[in-house]
Amino acid sequence: MTVSFDLSPEQEQLKHGSRQFAEAHLRDLADAVRAEPDPLRRALLARPAFEKAVEAGFLKGFIPVPFGGAAGNGVDAAILIEEWAAHSPDFVISMAGPLIALAPVYEAGTPEQIARFVAPFLAERGAPVAAMAYSEPGGSANFDAAPPAEGTRTTAVPDGDEYVINGRKAWASHLPGWDGDGPDVMTIVCRAPGGVSLVVAEREHLAGHIEVEEYYDLPGLAGCMTARVRLVDVRVPKANLLGEEGQGVALTRNAFVGSGASIGTFAVAAMRQAFDIAFRFARTEKRGGDVAIIEHRAVSDVLADAKGRIEAVRLLSWRALDAALSQHPAGLEMALHAKIFGSETGVEVINDLIKLVGVEAYDRNFPILRHLHEALAYPVIEGSNIGVRRRQLHDLFRTGGYDPLSASGMA
Ligand SMILES: Cc1cc2nc3c(=O)[nH]c(=O)nc-3n(C[C@H](O)[C@H](O)[C@H](O)COP(=O)(O)OP(=O)(O)OC[C@H]3O[C@@H](n4cnc5c(N)ncnc54)[C@H](O)[C@@H]3O)c2cc1C
């Protein structure tokens, strides 16, 4: 990341290309998603834009270069995510599945596993999807808890050269895949004899073994395919275990570092859109008075505070994504700040901007409330701030030798 904070010519190009794609394909998609009441039909609406994004090479942009992809640095990721999430954060979440599901493959996979599990996402057409199957009905904040606590309930029972996986999973994007027969790759957090482990199931193992119990009807991010499913006798070769049995807790936590950092950028995208709406309202609306309401100092103060906080979260998220994706030692701490501070700031800022607009904002057809619905998701997805993320910060602060200046490079 350049210390000057100027975007390079390539990053300027990425920003314009991503914005053009979003305006051409994601704006209309977001309108169509809002108009469709059925959660499954809503999620399927994304497929044509997904295919266009694959053809344009964007999916490869989620795969690091050493594994055959074309991912840039963390700031590049932030630029793309902000431009797309400004129109359709649900689309980004759908497409970014490999960011989480393949992270443990890169970390612990053998060269053969990496080549096989990454291959579908290097395709130049189609709509390959990946799911990180961590969350379970009944809660996952304590997925590492040992018996007699439930911890991770999904089991992987050895049978010859295979594991037989049974259990219920929830929330993760694309658990059923486009057609109910599963995503191209599902990284399953499960309990094997050696402890919590990660086993990768491919479509050939999943087809016919996924029972969808419910497609969630989300109030925001409504185009995400999120469901509660039952995995029934999913037979996966033991060769699909990542690392060793018992390594799953650390691998799972690491898998969510980069995506946690990205939540700050999702919050920026929602704040930026809400700011734009409130700003235009303040500049043009007199609300029966003799001047535009921006002339009232109290209104301008709301805008000033909001703008400053958006800029702060944007820079924090750039730094966090850069550190997380480059495996910098500060990556975890910066990702946690971007996740927690970014998501909570997002809710506060958009709520303030709604108060600026006043009662008009409370009409479903007025375009600001939808961004609060999106922002409300960010403190609770990617590990809720209370149940997962603040606990991780708590652990970090209690680590022997923790230096408060080191994350900022000022130690
Ligand atoms: C759009 C969307 C996409 C998602 N994508 C994925 C995905 O790709 N993969 C995936 O696996 N999941 C995904 N999720 C689920 C998401 O990551 C959740 O954050 C995750 O299920 C954990 O939920 P939770 O943190 O609320 O934990 P829960 O276990 O449900 O805990 C609930 C609450 O209990 C309290 N709590 C529980 N234990 C403790 C504790 N030890 N200390 C303090 N407080 C505690 C906290 O207040 C916490 O918020 C997604 C969800 C959505 C909506």
d(CA 129, CA 58): 13
d(CA 90, CA 92): 5
**CATH code for residues 9-122:** 1.10.540.10
Judge whether residue 57 has pLDDT over 90.
yes
Residue whose tokens read 């996402």: 121
pLDDT band at 3 (very low <50, low <70, confident <90, very high): low
Tens-digit pLDDT profile for residues 84-116:
999 999 999 999 999 999 999 999 999 999 999
As a whole number, mean pLDDT of residues 315-320 equals: 97
Task: For residue 239, report the distance from its CA to the centre of ligand 1, in Å.
Answer: 29
Q: If you write DSSP's letter for every residue of 103-151 in order, what string do you get? A: HHHHHH--HHHHHHHHGGGG-SSS---EEEE---TT--TTTTPPTTS--
As a whole number, mean pLDDT of residues 215-232 equals: 98
Judge whether residue 26 has pLDDT over 70.
yes
As a whole number, mean pLDDT of residues 3-27 equals: 94
Mean pLDDT (the chain) is: 97
- Quick one: fold of 249-398? Butyryl-CoA Dehydrogenase, subunit A; domain 3 (1.20.140)
CA angle, residues 346, 174, 209, in degrees to nearest 5:
150
Q: What is the pLDDT of residue 374?
A: 98
Report the DSSP beta bridge partners of residue 199. 188, 241
Tens-digit pLDDT profile for residues 340-392:
999 999 999 999 999 999 999 999 999 999 999 999 999 999 999 999 999 99
The dihedral through the CA atoms of 25, 48, 185, 216 has a sign that is positive
Mutation pick for ligand 1 pocket among 129, 135, 226 (CB with most ligand atoms within 8 Å): 135
pLDDT band at 56 (very low <50, low <70, confident <90, very high): very high
As a whole number, mean pLDDT of residues 272-290 equals: 98
Report whether residue 226 contacts ligand 1, using a CB cutoff of 6 Å: yes
Where, residue-wise, is CATH 1.10.540.10 in the chain?
A: 9-122
Task: For residue 386, report the distance from its CA to the centre of ligand 1, in Å.
Answer: 9
d(CA 84, CA 78): 10
Q: How far is CA 287 from the centre of its chain?
A: 39
Tens-digit pLDDT profile for residues 232-272:
999 999 999 999 999 999 999 999 999 999 999 999 999 99
Q: What is the pLDDT of residue 198?
A: 98
pLDDT band at 45 (very low <50, low <70, confident <90, very high): very high
Q: What is the pLDDT of residue 4?
A: 80
Q: What is the pLDDT of residue 361?
A: 98
Mutation pick for ligand 1 pocket among 140, 344, 392 (CB with most ligand atoms within 8 Å): 140
Homologous superfamily (CATH) for 130-244 = Butyryl-CoA Dehydrogenase, subunit A, domain 2 (2.40.110.10)
Name the percent of the chain lying above pLDDT 70. 99
Q: Give the count of beta carbons closer than 10 Å to the beta carbon of residue 398.
A: 8
Where, residue-wise, is CATH 2.40.110.10 in the chain?
A: 130-244
| DSSP designation for 7 | P
Judge whether residue 1 has pLDDT over 60.
no
Judge whether residue 5 has pLDDT over 90.
no
Judge whether residue 58 has pLDDT over 60.
yes
From the CA of 100, give the closest atom in ligand 1. Answer: 8
H or E stretch at 169: strand 162-173
Report whether residue 139 contacts ligand 1, using a CB cutoff of 6 Å: yes
Task: For residue 81, report the distance from its CA to the centre of ligand 1, in Å.
Answer: 22
Report whether residue 383 contacts ligand 1, using a CB cutoff of 6 Å: yes
Mutation pick for ligand 1 pocket among 33, 136, 171 (CB with most ligand atoms within 8 Å): 171
**Residue with CA at minimum distance from ligand 1 atom 4:** 172
Q: How far is CA 175 from the centre of its chain?
A: 15
- Residue of 105, 97, 160, 104 whose CA lies nearest to 129: 97
Judge whether residue 2 has pLDDT over 60.
no
How much of the chain is helix, strand and coil, in % rounded to 5?
Answer: 55, 15, 30
Report the DSSP beta bridge partners of residue 162. 159, 237
